[in-house]
Amino acid sequence: MRWKKPVCVLLLTLAGVTALAGIQRLLMPKYMGLVVEGNFTSEYYEETTPHDVLFLGNCEVYENISPIVLWREFGITSYIRGNAQQLIAQSYYLLEDTLRYETPAAVVFNVSAMQQFDQDNESYNRMTLDGMRWSASKWNAIRSTMMEDEHMIEYIFPILRFHSRFAELEPDDLTYFMGSGKVAHNGYYLRADVRPAGDLPVERRRSDYSFDPRAWEYLEKIRVLCEENGITFVLMKAPSLYPAWYDQWEVQIEEYASEHNLLYVNCLEVSDEIGIDFTTDTYDAGLHMNVYGAEKMARYFGPVLLALPGVKDRRGSVSDGIDLDSVWQEKCDFYDQMKASQEEEFAELGYIKQFYIQ
């Protein structure tokens, strides 16, 4: 009977740990309602085939370009690793994280994140970082962007952060207990509603237009990491009207690009060429593109990307024994279906229920 006690202890400990893991899962936000952005980071790991192009940045990338159109019309395989208020340091570590799985031919970084180095709302940090798989990159991403009252241990055991949700559990928490549903299209956040751009708040003049030195440092780190891995590094600025993109900033980015011989596309300057119509192509009055704007962006960017070394039309090809066409067909179907149902809902109601704040 000497084995009985240790076995009992072991079993009980296992049961305890399992129960705790279950409770933690239950209490973690599922991001399946009004806010779906918390699912983006983790969806990346479900990918089965590699990507030629990786987009990095904040909401200005994940809402502004459609990877589905890039595939359908140009055969470009791409993925957006962007999140709400994704800081430049987080972009760097997400790139590191991506390189553990694949090496894209090109990385496109949206430069608007240069204007703010420190996080101002911890829930953005959680949405970006919680979905990351554990690695040194995740650890470093947390350490470099954590707010003052955040703790590393609350990322290691997220229950410490989300425990108080016990009082506000929803049906979603059970429905998506085993895992959230898919919400994005290769990182793209689809919105088919329309809200024309109207008067935007007047931007205040700033006394200092220089970027935070730490932002420069991370931009350089991204560039060097790309260089080391033979990746073409491209800079872009999405065509968002707000927050403003100042000329003084533009000059600095242009200088950096030319210094390092990088391609830099400022979509604000070529928005006519892209064909963006701010009365129809934005869903929140000019801050972000809706699906119509994002598709136009993709059509503009397709040829630009195809001109980069290593970026090819992959239609009809096979990767590691997997037929890309069928993989992407599934993605296209999901996209078309979501787009159609949103369009229908918007036509009928004038808004989309999921995103409607009462």
Partner 1 sequence: MSLVSYEFLAFFAVAAVLYYIVPKRFQWILLLAVSFLFYAGGGVVYLLYPLITAVSTWFLALRIGKADSAAQAYIQEQKPDKEQKKAYQARIRKRKMRLMMAGILLNFGILAVLKYTNFLLGNLSVLFSPEDGAVRQISWVLPLGISYYTFQTMGYLIDVFRGRYKPERNLFRFMLFVTYFPQMISGPISCFDQLRKELFEEHSFDGTKITFGLWRILWGFFKKLVIADRLASAVAMITVSPDTYDGIYVLIGMLGYTLQLYADFSGCMDIVIGVSQCFGIRLPENFQRPFGAKNLSEFWRRWHMTLTGWFREYIFFPVSTSRFCKTVSRLAGKLGMKKGSKKLPVYIANLLVWLVTGIWHGASWNFILWGLANGIVMMVSQEFTGLYRSFHRRFPKTDGKAYGVFEKVRTGLLFAVLLMFQYYPFGTVFVMLGNLFMTGRPSQLFDGRLAGLGLTAADFIVLAVGLILVLLIGILQETGSVRLKLAEKPLVVRYTAIFLLFVMVLVAGCYGHGYDASQFIYNQF
Residues 119-138 that bind partner 1 (CB under 8 A): 122
Total number of residues that touch partner 1 (CB under 8 A): 22
Greatest CA separation for the chain: 81
Q: Is 8 in the site for partner 1 (CB under 8 A)?
A: yes
Residues 269-288 that bind partner 1 (CB under 8 A): none
Q: Is 21 in the site for partner 1 (CB under 8 A)?
A: no
Q: Is 151 in the site for partner 1 (CB under 8 A)?
A: yes
Q: Is 154 in the site for partner 1 (CB under 8 A)?
A: yes
- Which of 14, 34, 153, 251 touches partner 1 (CB under 8 A)? 153
CA distances from 240 to 58, 93, 128, 210 (A): 12, 25, 21, 21
Q: Which long-range contacts (CB under 8 A, 24 or more apart) does 343-348 make?
A: 343/192, 346/192, 346/193, 346/194
> Residue 18 or residue 317: which is nearer to partner 1 going by CB?
18
- Which of 10, 14, 19, 136 touches partner 1 (CB under 8 A)? 19
What is the closest distance, in whole angstroms, from the C-beta atom of residue 151 to partner 1 in the complex?
6
Q: Is 35 in the site for partner 1 (CB under 8 A)?
A: no
Q: Is 10 in the site for partner 1 (CB under 8 A)?
A: no
Q: Is 149 in the site for partner 1 (CB under 8 A)?
A: yes
Where does this chain bind partner 1 (CB under 8 A)? 5, 8-9, 12, 16, 19-20, 23, 27, 122, 149-151, 153-154, 159-161, 163-164, 166-167
